[in-house]
Amino acid sequence: MKTSTVEYLEKRIAPATIFVTNLLDDGSAGSLRKAIADANLTPAPDVIMFKPTAYGTIVLGGTDLDITTPLTIKGPGAGKVIINGNNVSGIFNIAYTDPLITTATTISGLALVNGNASDGGAIKSFESLTLVNSIISGNTASNDGGGIYVKTDGKFTMTATTVTGNTATDGGGLYLEVAGGISITNSTISGNTATSNKGGGAYISTNTGNNLTAKNVITNTTIVGNSATASGGGLYLAPDGRDISVINSTITGNTAGINGGGISMASGGLLLKGGILSGNTADSGGGIFVRFPGKTSTITGTKILNNTATVSNGGGIQFDGSGSATATFNVLKSTIAGNRAITDGGGISANNGGTLNLTGDTLFANEAAHFGGGVFSGSAASTVILKVTASTFTENTAGGGGGIFAGGEGAVTIAKSKLIANHATNNVAGGAYLRSKSPITITSTLFSKNSAAGAGGGLYVVTSNTTLTGCTFTDNVSLFFGGGARIFSTNVAITKTLIRGNIAGANGGGIAINAPTTTISKSIITGNIAKDSSGGVSNQGGSTTLDAATKLFGNIAPVNPDKDF
């Protein structure tokens, strides 16, 4: 492990271009092994190229190719020159002879296959490494990095390269501990396996050196069909507090035995921008699992589709705030659809502290067996602040809280959103089930055509202070209390709200309240139906005050059609 980078001060010899002219691996003139040995004789950044007579497969004779000076190897194309480790040795071992100097190697236009090593089946590098237009396939490492292993204070760059069918304990395709920055662009990482740990496609860490400004970006890359027995079927990201961006990439069909079928993120900030995360599977966080104390991660403009959590929470997304009040997870203008969790949070699950912000999102047809078909936020002992703005929840299903479940101690704010045709199959709240010790505030939000097997067809609330302003409850259905909404609260304030056409199987066709003090102002409550009593409003816990501007009429029930105060 290198601790510093210094300039090489000795007199340089001019770089040379060295040609490979045959397919032999005996170190004779014209062989690749001889070309590399010649390049290693000087510190100059030499170039190795291939004559047409060297097009074909070079089978290594049992030892890898050691690169000890700056070098560029320019192959004619991955289909023209293949270097085969013959399942006996690694292929390239890159380490400069002076451990205080970080140098650079570039490899392009080659296929590296059937390498076998303890680390880095095809490539093991302690230097900056650039790969271009190459194929890394069918390699094996008994420890880390089935295809590629890089541990350096320098940089790693991979462009237009395919890493496929490689196997290792960690990092089936790639294992990267890189401090100087990572760039993976227009590449494919597919069918790789981490046999007993993390990062089926790639294990990425920046836990080296002190470079806090290095950029770590994966762009326009396909990560498909990789698997890990532990975490991060597609990608395992451990940036030690640094940020990693995954932009306009496709992450699909990956599996993990523990968490993060597509991506598992630990101890840093993630930006997932654009692209598709689909068909991934894990015990929890089927699509993505994110854990970080005190950091901010953001998903924006991304499609998160048909992912599955087979044992626990978060079919699409699982967010763990690690007990940190400053951990923040933003989901912006994204589509989260068709995801499934065996317990909670079919689309998104957030727990263990922090803030979950949803803005401009569409959550459609997600499913959870227990709570929160669209979103699950917090549990009884978990303080998660939930903020939902300008988002739409449609046709999500759960045992309770078909669209949204918030059950921790954090404040809940929902604004300018729509909850339509969500369903609670065996519990309360077709639309949203909000249970918190902190205030719950809902403004300018539509609850329509939601249904619950229990109480609260559109909304079910348990909290100290409930405020509804400018909301609409229409055509919601519950089998028990509160067709439109069921509220348990110390104080309830409802303003400029329309409650119309809701149906309850018991009391409170429009809204059923249990609160010492309720005020309803400038609202309309009409056309609701209750099969027992109080077609419009029921308050079984205290007094309700309606101002003169509130209209309460045309509700239907056998007893007290409009109200039962």
Q: In a 10 Å sphere around its CB, with 0-12 CB exposed, 13-18 middle and 19+ buried, how is residue 178 labelled? A: buried
Distance CA(495)–CA(469), nearest Å, equals 5
Give the tokens for residue 327.
């951990």
In a domain, 441, yes or no: no
In a domain, 143, yes or no: yes
Backbone angles phi, psi at 280, to 5 degrees: -95, 155
Do 282 and 310 meet the contact criterion of CB atoms below 8 Å apart? Answer: yes
Q: Per residue in 214-252, pLDDT tens?
A: 889 999 999 999 999 999 999 999 867 678 999 999 999
**Model pLDDT, residue 266:** 84
**Model pLDDT, residue 295:** 81
Do 506 and 480 meet the contact criterion of CB atoms below 8 Å apart? Answer: yes
DSSP label at 38? H
Query: Which residues are CB-contacts of 392 (< 8 A; sequence separation ≥ 6)?
Result: 361, 362, 363, 364, 417, 418, 419, 420
**Model pLDDT, residue 381:** 62
**Model pLDDT, residue 325:** 73
Q: Among 264, 274, 277, 210, which residue's Cα sits nearest to residue 242? A: 210
In a domain, 447, yes or no: no
Distance CA(352)–CA(324), nearest Å, equals 8
Q: How far is CA 278 from CA 140, 308, 367, 452, in A?
A: 27, 9, 15, 29
Do 399 and 424 meet the contact criterion of CB atoms below 8 Å apart? Answer: yes
DSSP label at 14? P
With b meaning 16 or more CB within 10 Å and e meaning fewer, what string describes 70-98? bbbbbbbebeebbbbbeebbbbbbbbbee
pTM of the model: 0.94
Give 115's strand partners.
none
DSSP label at 556? B
What is the average pLDDT value for the chain, to the nearest integer? 93
Name residue 408's amino acid.
G
The number of domains in the chain is 1
Give the tokens for residue 314.
């978060």
Number of other CB atoms surrounding residue 61 within 10 Å? 13
In a domain, 478, yes or no: no
Q: Among 339, 429, 440, which residue's Cα sits nearest to residue 387? A: 440
**Model pLDDT, residue 434:** 96
Q: Per residue in 96-128, pLDDT tens?
A: 876 666 679 999 999 999 999 999 999 999 999
What is the C-alpha radius of gyration for the chain, rounded to an integer number of angstroms? 30
Give me the DSSP letters along 483-506: SSEEEEEEEEEEES-EEES-EESS
Distance CA(191)–CA(222), nearest Å, equals 11
Segment-wise mean pLDDT, segments of 10 residues, the chain, 565 residues: 36 79 97 97 94 98 96 96 98 84 89 98 97 98 98 95 98 95 97 96 79 86 98 90 90 97 89 98 97 85 98 95 82 98 97 93 98 89 88 98 92 97 96 93 98 98 95 98 96 97 97 95 97 93 92 92 69
In a domain, 541, yes or no: no
Q: Among 386, 287, 406, which residue's Cα sits nearest to residue 338? A: 287
Report the half-sphere exposure of 214 (CA within 13 A, side-chain side): 26
Distance CA(82)–CA(56), nearest Å, equals 6
In a domain, 46, yes or no: yes
Report the half-sphere exposure of 406 (CA within 13 A, side-chain side): 31
**Model pLDDT, residue 3:** 37
**Model pLDDT, residue 7:** 34
In a domain, 30, yes or no: yes
**Model pLDDT, residue 380:** 60
In a domain, 77, yes or no: yes
- Compute the Cα dihedral for 447, 399, 411, 506 and give only its sign: positive
Containing structural domain, residue 232: 1-236
